[in-house]
Structure 1
Amino acid sequence: MADADAVTVALHHMETAAIHGFASKSMFVAGLCILIYDHILTFPDEVEYIWKRNWSVVSTMFVLNRYITPFVLAVDLYDKGGLPNYIPKSFCVGWYYGESVWNLLCFGFVHAIVALRVRAIWGRPRWLSITLSVLFATYFLTTTVVVYALQIKVVHTVEYNPLYRICLATISPHLWTCWLPALVFETFVFVLTVIKAREHSKANFDTPILRILVRDGVVYFVIICACSVFNMLIWIVAPPSLVALSKYFVLAVVPTMGARLVLNLRGSRREDLMPTAGRSTTEDSRGFEMQAKGGRPGKPLPGERFVFASFRAERRSMMRSKIRLFMSEHI
C-alpha cells in the first residue's frame, strides 16, 4: 500500500512538472515571438537610424542586444525545449555560466542607455554624471557578485535530465535578490525623469525629443519593474519547476524595450529638426514678439517697431540645442 502511494505521489509530481514545463515553454515562445516580430517591424528604422548614422557606444550596445539575444534564446530553446536526445554535462555547465553572463550584459546595456537618456534630460550636469556612474557600477557589480556567488554553490547539480531532455540545476532560494540592485537603480532613474518632466511642464517647455524621453522613460519603468517583480515573485513563491516561467520571457522583452528606446529617440530627432509652417524650429523657438507703439496688435506702424526677445523661449532653444547635441554625440 505504501509503495502504491509513493508511486501515485511520484506520478503526480511528474505530471505537475510536465504542466509547469509546458507553461514555461509557452511563455518562452511568446517572448521570442515578440522579439522577432518587433525586430522585423523596426528593421527599416534600424537601417535608417543605426547603420546610416555615425557609430557610437549606444549603437554598439544596440547591435549587441539586437543580434546576440536571439542567438542566446535560440540555444535556450534547443536546450529547454526538450529537443536534444542528449547534452554533455560540460555543455550544460558551460551554458549555465555563459547564459548568465549575457543576461547581466543585456540588462546592463539597457540600463546604461536609460541612464544616458536621463542625463540628457537634465542637461548633463557633472554631479548627475558622477551619481549615475557610481549607481550603475554599484548595481552591475552587486548583481554580478550575487549571481555568481549563488551559482557557484549549486553548479555541481547541473546535469542533463533524460526524462525531460533538458539541462537542469538546483535553484538557490536566494536567487531572487539579484533583481533588487536593478530595481533600486531603475527607481532612482525614474524619479529623476519625473522631476525633470514636472519642471518642463511648469515652464511650458516641450519638444518632440523631450516628449519621447519622458514618455519612453515612464513606459520603460513600468515594463522593467513589472518584469523584475514578476521574476522575483516566481522565484520566491512558485515551485522550482516554474523557475523558467518568467526568465526567458523577460530576456526577450527587455532587449525589445531597449531597442525601442533608441529607435524612438533617434526618430524624434528627425521630427524635432523638421520645419513647421514654413519656418524652421530654430526660428519658432526663439519666440520673437513684435509690438508697435500706438499700433494695433499684429499691425505695427512703419518705423515704430520694437523687437523683444523672449528670454524664456531663448532658454528653451538653448536647452533644445544642448539635448540635440548630446543625442547626436552619444545616442
Structure 2
Amino acid sequence: MSDQKDEDVTALYWNNYTSVVILTLVSYEYLLLLEKEVKYVWKRRWSLMTCLYLIVRYLGLFLALIIGCWGGLLYMPQSVSYDLIVLIEWGFSVYFCLGEVILIWRLYAISDQSKRLLYILLGLLLPIIALLIWTDVYLYSRPSSLSVNEVVTPTVTYCSPSFNIGPIFAIYTSIPIICYDIFLVVLAIATLVKHLRERRNIKMRPNTYVIMIVRHHIMYFVLNLTNQILQTILWANVSAPVMSLSELFNDTAPFILAPRLIISVWDTHARETCIHVSTTFADCVCWTSPPTFDSEVELEVIALDSREDA
C-alpha cells in the first residue's frame, strides 16, 4: 500500500513539473512571436494562409493551457477531468488535420499550382480524417478504453488518465497516418529535385522558398513521426517519468513548430530585396526570375518611364 502511495506522489510531482514546463514554454513562445504576428497578420490583408495560421496558433495555445492545468496542478472533479481529456484528444486531431492542410497548400504552391495534385492530396486526406474520427471515438471517447482515476494522496487529490487497452490499436491507426506523411515528404523532395534541375539548366539560383518549404515538410514529418510513436507509447504501461516526458513533447512541439513554419516564410520575404513579387505561396513570395510582361507595349511604357526618371 505504501509503495502505491509513493508511486502516486511521484506521478503527481512529474505531472506538476511537466505542466509548469508546458505553460512556460508555450507562454514564452507566444510572446516571442507576438511582434511578428502583429506585423504580418494583424496589419495586413488576410489570406487563406493567414486564417490557417491564426487557427493553429490559438487552437494550439488553447489546448496547451488546458493540458498545463489538467491533472494535479489544479484540482478538477473527475467528471470534468474526463470531459477535458476527451476534448484535448479531439483537439489534437483537429490540429493535426490543419497541419496537413498547411503542408498540402504549400506543396500545391511549389508544384506550379497544380489543381489535379491539390485535389488528389485532399482526397487522400479524407480517409485519414475518417480514421482520426474513428480513433477519437473508439480509443478516446469510451471510458472502457480511456478513463480518469481520482488519486488521493496525503497532501492532495488529483486525477490521472488510465489507458485501459494495450498499444496495438494505436499502432494500427498510426500506420496509415505515417504512410500519408511519408508520401507528402517524398513528393516535396521530388518537387525540389525537379526544381533544382530546371534552375541548373537555365543557370539560375534555386528559389529560396521552394527550399524552405521542402525543409519545413521534412521537419514536420519528423515531428509527426515522433508524435505518433510517443502517442503509442502512452497506451503501454510505462513509468511516470516516461509518460510525462512523452506528453511534454506531444503537448509543446506541435504548438510551437507549426506557427513558426508559417511565419518564417513571411519573415524571410520581408528581409529580402525582390525582383518580382508573386502570391503563389499563398501570401507573398520573391521569385528569383525577372518579371514577365504580357505585351511589348507594356515593355515600352516601362522603358519610357525609366528614361524620364533618369
Range into which the TM-score falls when normalised by the shorter chain: 0.7 to 0.9
Equivalence for 1:4: none
**Separation of aligned partners in 2, 1:252 and 1:39:** 12
Q: CA deviation at 1:41?
A: 1.6
Residue 170 of structure 1, aligned match among 147, 153, 162: 162
Matches within 5 A, 1:247-258: 247-258=247-258
Gaps of 5+ in 1: 1-9, 276-280, 283-319
Q: 1:198 to 1:30 in 2, by over 3 A?
A: farther
Equivalence for 1:112: 101
Equivalence for 2:189: 194
1:325 matched to 2:289? The reply is no
Residue 15 of structure 1, aligned match among 6, 9, 19: 6
**Separation of aligned partners in 2, 1:233 and 1:27:** 17
Q: CA deviation at 1:150?
A: 1.9
Contact 2:151 2:160 (C-alpha < 8 Å) held by counterparts: yes
* One-letter code aligned to 1:129: L
Root-mean-square deviation (Å): 2.9
1:64 matched to 2:55? The reply is yes
* One-letter code aligned to 1:185: Y
Equivalence for 1:306: none
Equivalence for 1:147: 136
Give TM-score, length-normalised by structure 1.
0.72
Q: Which moved more, 1:23-32 or 1:98-107?
A: 23-32
Q: 1:234 to 1:101 in 2, by over 3 A?
A: closer
1:122 matched to 2:111? The reply is yes
Q: 1:180 to 1:143 in 2, by over 3 A?
A: farther
**Separation of aligned partners in 1, 2:195 and 2:16:** 45
Contact 1:30 1:249 (C-alpha < 8 Å) held by counterparts: no
Q: CA deviation at 1:237?
A: 6.2
Q: 1:94 to 1:236 in 2, by over 3 A?
A: closer
Which of 1 and 2 has greater Rg? 1
Q: 1:74 to 1:270 in 2, by over 3 A?
A: closer
**Separation of aligned partners in 2, 1:138 and 1:157:** 27
Q: 1:157 to 1:101 in 2, by over 3 A?
A: closer
1:76 matched to 2:70? The reply is no
CA offsets 1:26-56 (integer angstroms, 9 cap, x no match): 3443344332222222211111111122223
1:158 matched to 2:153? The reply is no
Q: 1:89 to 1:128 in 2, by over 3 A?
A: same
Q: CA deviation at 1:144?
A: 1.7
* One-letter code aligned to 2:225: C
Residue 178 of structure 2, aligned match among 176, 183, 189: 183
Q: 1:13 to 1:135 in 2, by over 3 A?
A: farther
What secondary structure sits across from 2:235 in the alignment?
helix
Q: Which moved more, 1:41-50 or 1:144-153?
A: 144-153
CA offsets 1:80-111 (integer angstroms, 9 cap, x no match): 13432xx3333123213222221111222122
**Separation of aligned partners in 2, 1:74 and 1:200:** 41
1:214 matched to 2:217? The reply is no
What secondary structure sits across from 1:30 in the alignment?
helix
Gaps of 5+ in 2: 285-310
How many residues were matched structurally?
A: 274
Residue 136 of structure 1, aligned match among 105, 125, 149: 125
Q: 1:106 to 1:212 in 2, by over 3 A?
A: same
Q: CA deviation at 1:196?
A: 1.1
Contact 1:179 1:228 (C-alpha < 8 Å) held by counterparts: yes
Equivalence for 2:223: 223
* One-letter code aligned to 1:176: A
* One-letter code aligned to 2:187: L
Q: Which moved more, 1:99-108 or 1:246-255?
A: 246-255
1:34 matched to 2:33? The reply is no
Higher helix proportion, which one? 1
What secondary structure sits across from 1:238 in the alignment?
coil
Q: CA deviation at 1:72?
A: 2.9
**Separation of aligned partners in 2, 1:100 and 1:202:** 43
CA offsets 1:188-243 (integer angstroms, 9 cap, x no match): 11111111111222223512222321222222222332232233234346258854
Q: Which moved more, 1:130-139 or 1:149-158?
A: 149-158
